[in-house]
Structure formats: structure tokens, C-alpha cells
Structure 1
Amino acid sequence: MKIADMNWMQLESYLQQDDRVVVPLGSVEQHAYLSLAVDMILAEKVAVDAAEPLGIPVYPAIPFGVTPYFAAFPGTVSLRVETYVRVIHDLLDSLARSGFKRIVLVNGHGGNQPAASAATEWMLSNPGVKVRFYNWWNAPHTLANVRSVDPTSSHASWMENLPWTRLADAPCPDARKAPIDYQRFHVMNAAQAKEYLGDGNFGGWYQRPAEVENAMWQVAVEETRAILQGPWE
């Protein structure tokens, strides 16, 4: 259930029987022909779908993350690592103060990895609270499913081209893009990266049939749900 659909009294009642909560972590950045908010949309969607049968509340996704390499693409917003770590610490402080003891950060963006270290660091000073950082998009079963469809699938490919992220007025090509050279990409500045990437897709099929998309998403939801269930000890 979404925190947006609850009031504080309902949440207080929930905390009398359960202490789990989910916070999706997203990013607003270029995704080729897809929405700039792909990572935010998918992190929240997979969290809500996974948590719903368990009755665990899910916060709105934090929209902004760490993505300096896409800074030259219009619309991309990137936080400094220092800023992002402070946000994560403040977030966890607030959740613990409310009474949550088991917190899952469902991450939808690779650049947000500093949140994992920030959470581990935070737990040193808060031993009574457990925090799990979870990348839904490269979890073992989800990634295996994606690779079985196309081993070169990556950023802005079919695995992110879903009904909630595609744009009606900007259809994706019915094509397969050659994978980028990651060694070259990782030493480029933002302007060079924009020129090199072209439309922004990192490689793979731009789109796949609906049944393939749905199968991948179901695996992702079930794998995320398993994370929410534990183990927690």
C-alpha cells in the first residue's frame, strides 16, 4: 500500500503489528525514447507491486539520484554524492523515529550505489534498525531473465521499455542496437558521453513483445517480494 493513501493514524496502527517499510530510489535522467523518469517510475512500481499482498507501506520514490555522466542530456538532474548520502541519512533517521525497524531501499538506478554504503554506515549508529539496499533491475533471477532474452540488454533497452515508461508520442525503434564500449564510456566527460551515446540507449533490443515484458516484470516483482519477506535475522 502507498503511504500516499494513508494518514498518520493508520500508519501508527500499522506500526503496532509490523515494522517494515519500503522506499524506492530513482533518478531523473535520459533514457533514449523513454520517459526521463524511468528509474523513478520502475523503482516505485516494482516496490508497490511487491509489497501490496504483504500490506507493507511504500513511500513515493525519491526522484533524484547521482548521474553526472548524463549531465549533458537536457532534463537530467544529478545530486552530488555528498548531498545524496546526507539525504539517505536524514531519510533513515526519520523512518527510525517513526518506529520502522526493517527498511528496504528498492533502487532503480546504478548511480545510486552510494546509498548502500550510506545505509551500512548509518546502521553502525542505529543497531536496532535493519536496512536492506536492493537493486531490483540486476537481482539474480531478474537479470537472468533479461539476459535470456537478449544478453546485450542495458540502459534504455526493452527491459525498461514498459507500459509505464514508454511515451505515446515518441515510439522506440523496432531494432537492436550494438552494445556500447563500457571501457571507453567510463572515462568520458558528460559532453563526450552525449556525443558517443547518440540517442542514449546502451545497447540491445529497444522493444520486445508484451508477453516477454510481462514475464520479466513478474519475475522482478516476485524477487522483490522475497526480499521484503526476509530473512531479517
Structure 2
Amino acid sequence: MRIADTNWMQVEEYLRGDDRCVVPLGSTEQHAHLSNCVDCILSERVALEAAEPLGIPVFPVLAYGVTPYFAAYPGTVSLRLSTYLAVIEDVLTSLARTGFRRILLVNGHGGNSPAQTGAMEWMTENPGCRVRFHNWWSAARTMGTVKEIDPIASHASWMENFPWTRLPGVAMPDEQKPMADIDRMRSLPATRAREILGDGNFGGRYQRPDEEMLAIWQVAIAETRAQLEGDWS
């Protein structure tokens, strides 16, 4: 259930029987011909669909992350790492203060990975709480399904092209883009990184059939739900 669809009294009643919740982590950044909010759309949606049958509340997606390498693309917003980690700490502290003790962070952006270390540090000061960090797109079964379909998959390529991340009236190139030199890209200023990436797709086809995408999505939902149902001890 969406926290947006509840009031505080309903949340308090929920906490009398369960202490789990989900916080999706996203990013507002370039995704070539797809929405600038792909990472927000996907992390929130997979979290909601995974949690819905369990009745576990899902908080609004944290829409800004750490993405300095895309800073030269209009529409991209990047937080400083120190700012991001402070936000994560404040969110976790606020949730724990009101009774949430098992918190799943469903992450949709690779640049947000320091949040996992931040959560581990936070748990040392809050030993009664558990935080799980789940990169939904790179989890074993989900990424395995991606690789079975097409091993050339990357940022802003077909693997992020779902019906709900496309933009009306925007046509996708019908080609397989060569893989960019990602290591080199990450060692350069943002303006040079844009020169290397061009439209922003790291490499691979831009779109694949929807039936393949929906098959990946069902695996991702099940894998994310398992994170909520598993042993938290």
C-alpha cells in the first residue's frame, strides 16, 4: 500500500501488527530517449507491486540520487554524496522513531550504492533495526533473465525500456549501439562524459518486445517480494 493513500492513524494501526516498510530509491537523470525519471518509476513500481499482496506500506520514492557523471545533461539532478547519505540517515531515523524496525531500501540507481554502507553504519547505532538494500535490476534472478534474453544490456538501453518508462511520440532508434568505454567515462568531467556517451545509452539495443520485458518484470517483482518475506534476523 502507498503511504500516500493512508493517514497517520492507519499507519499507527498497521504498526501494531507489523514493522516492515519499503523505501524506493531513485534518481532524476538522463536515460537517452526514455524518461528522465526511469530510476524513480521502476524502483517505486517494483516496490509497490512486490509489497501489495503483503499489505506492507511503501513510502514515496526518493527522487534524487548521486549521479555527477550525467551533470552535463539537462534535466539531471545530482546530490552531493554527503547530502545523500545525510538524507538516508534522516529517513531511517524518522522511520525507526515511529516504530518501523524492518526497512527495505529498493534501489533503482547504481550511483546510490553508498546508501548500503550508510545503512550498515546506521544499524550499528540502532541495533534493534534491520535495513536491507536491494538493487532490484541487478539482483541475481532478474539480471540472469536479462542476460538470457540479450547479454548486451546497459544504462538507458532496452533493459530499462518498459511501457511505463517510454515517452509518448518518442521513437526509439532501431539499432544496437556499441558499448561505451564506461571506465574512461567515469574518469572524466561531466562534459567529456557526455561527449563519449552521446545520447546517453551506454550500449545495446534501444527496445525489445514487450513480452520479454514483462517476463523480466515478473521475475523482478518476485525477487523483491522475497526480500520482504525472508528471515530478517
What interval of TM-score do these two structures reach, taking the shorter chain for normalisation? over 0.9
Is the Cα contact below 8 Å between 1:23 and 1:105 reproduced in 2?
A: yes
Name the counterpart of 2:190.
Answer: 190
Q: Which runs of 5+ in 1 are unaligned?
A: none
Offset from partner CA, 1:61-104 (integer Å, 9 cap, x none):
00000000000000100000000000001000100011001000
Matched position secondary structure for 1:180: coil
Identity %: 63
Matched position secondary structure for 2:145: helix
Name the counterpart of 2:106.
Answer: 106
Is the Cα contact below 8 Å between 2:21 and 2:57 reproduced in 1?
A: yes
Confirm or deny that 1:84 pairs with 2:78.
Answer: no
CA–CA distance in 2 between the matches of 1:171 and 1:95?
A: 42
What TM-score do the two structures reach when normalised by structure 1? 0.98
Matched position secondary structure for 2:86: helix
Name the counterpart of 1:75.
Answer: 75
1:1-233, aligned counterparts within 5 Å? 1-233=1-233
CA–CA distance in 1 between the matches of 2:178 and 2:142?
A: 22
Cα displacement (A) at 1:49: 0.5
What TM-score do the two structures reach when normalised by structure 2? 0.98
CA–CA distance in 2 between the matches of 1:52 and 1:178?
A: 39
Matched position secondary structure for 1:106: strand
What number of residue pairs does the alignment pair up?
233
Cα displacement (A) at 1:183: 2.4
CA–CA distance in 1 between the matches of 2:183 and 2:96?
A: 40
CA–CA distance in 1 between the matches of 2:87 and 2:207?
A: 35
Task: Give every structure 1 segment of 4 or more consecutive aligned residues whose post-TM-superposition deviation is greater than 3 Å.
Answer: none
Cα displacement (A) at 1:231: 1.5
CA–CA distance in 2 between the matches of 1:165 and 1:17?
A: 35
Offset from partner CA, 1:114-158 (integer Å, 9 cap, x none):
110110000000000000011001000000111111111000011
Is the Cα contact below 8 Å between 1:150 and 1:205 reproduced in 2?
A: no
Matched position secondary structure for 1:224: helix
CA–CA distance in 2 between the matches of 1:59 and 1:127?
A: 22
Letter in 2 for 1:25: L
Is the Cα contact below 8 Å between 2:177 and 2:204 reproduced in 1?
A: yes
Is the Cα contact below 8 Å between 1:104 and 1:131 reproduced in 2?
A: yes
CA–CA distance in 1 between the matches of 2:182 and 2:10?
A: 48
The two structures, once aligned, show a CA RMSD in angstroms of 0.7
Cα displacement (A) at 1:109: 0.2
Letter in 1 for 2:213: E
Is the Cα contact below 8 Å between 2:65 and 2:78 reproduced in 1?
A: yes
